[in-house]
Amino acid sequence: MTVLPISFYPDPILSRICDPIEVFDESVKEMSADLIESLCAYGGLGLAAPQCGIAKQMFVCQIGKIDIMTFINPVLEREMGDELTTQEGCLSIPGVTGRIKRNDRILIKAQDITGAPFSISLINTDAIAFQHELDHLHGRTMFEVMDRVQKLGKRNSYIKKVKKWKASQKKTK
Ligand SMILES: [Zn+2]
């Protein structure tokens, strides 16, 4: 198992629509194990393959506060609860949190690492984390799902910070 490096915003991989996984071979199991290892190393509720430079429809997510589950080719089947606004963070956008509105009770469909389909309902933090990771597979980060006003302010100050950091890296070389 390997801890994979994180792709940071505005890396173009984070805007890509990821490819579905069609062949469930050893490489799929390895990718899942690496993502779990990486999520444990970095901390956080979930980690999607594109955040580690892999444009495939897979993410791992902490469910029920203990288990880390792997979701392959996941689909949001039904929203069954109420809209809830919470503060979210993202390993690909360090130092930024955003208020995001999502449904707090959902029914989802996905495949496991053997390709077997499953369907479960998720509530509260689990539902929110699932939707955050699902966005990554469709090329959307928190910035794309925040409301406009929040997005402009937060993204501009984040981009400024990245530029400053890059400039300081050049100076020290
Ligand atoms: Zn994220």
User: In a 3-state reduction of DSSP, which class is residue 158?
Assistant: helix
78 φ/ψ angles, rounded to the nearest 5 degrees = -155, 140
- Domain spans in the chain, listed from the N-terminal domain onward: 12-147
- Residues 104, 55: contact at Cβ < 8 Å? no
Ligand 1 centroid – CA 173 distance (Å): 30
Tens-digit pLDDT profile for residues 52-101: 999 999 999 999 877 899 999 999 999 999 999 999 999 999 999 999 99
87 beta partners: 99
Question: 47 alpha carbon to ligand 1 midpoint, in Å?
Answer: 7
User: Distance between CA atoms of 60 and 136, rounded to whole angstroms?
Assistant: 12
With respect to CATH, is domain 12-147 assigned 3.90.45.10?
yes
Given the residues 26, 79, 83, 133, the one annotated as active site: 133
pLDDT of residue 148: 76
Ion ligand 1 residue ranges (Cβ < 5 Å): 90
Helix or strand holding residue 29 (H, E): helix 26-42
Q: Do residues 119 and 75 touch, judged by C-beta distance below 8 A?
A: no
Which single residue is written with the structure tokens 């990486």? 38
26 is catalytic: no
pLDDT digits (tens, 9 = 90+) for 14-62: 999 999 999 999 999 999 999 999 999 999 999 999 999 999 999 999 9
Both tokens of 17, joined, read 């629509």
Q: How far apart are CA 105 and CA 123, in angstroms?
A: 4
The structure tokens listed for 23 are 């062949």
Tokens 């390993």 locate to 91
CA of 94 to the centre of ligand 1 (A): 10
Q: How far is the CA of 25 from the centre of ligand 1 (A)?
A: 26
CA 49 to ligand 1 center in whole angstroms: 10
Q: What is the pLDDT of residues 111-156, one digit of tens each?
A: 999 999 999 999 999 999 999 999 999 999 999 888 877 787 888 8
Q: In the predicted model, is pLDDT for residue 172 greater than 70?
A: no
Closest by CA to 32, choosing from 21, 19, 43, is 21
How far is the centre of ligand 1, averaged over its atoms, from the C-alpha of 146 (Å)?
13
pTM for this model (two decimals): 0.93
Residue 173: predicted pLDDT: 58
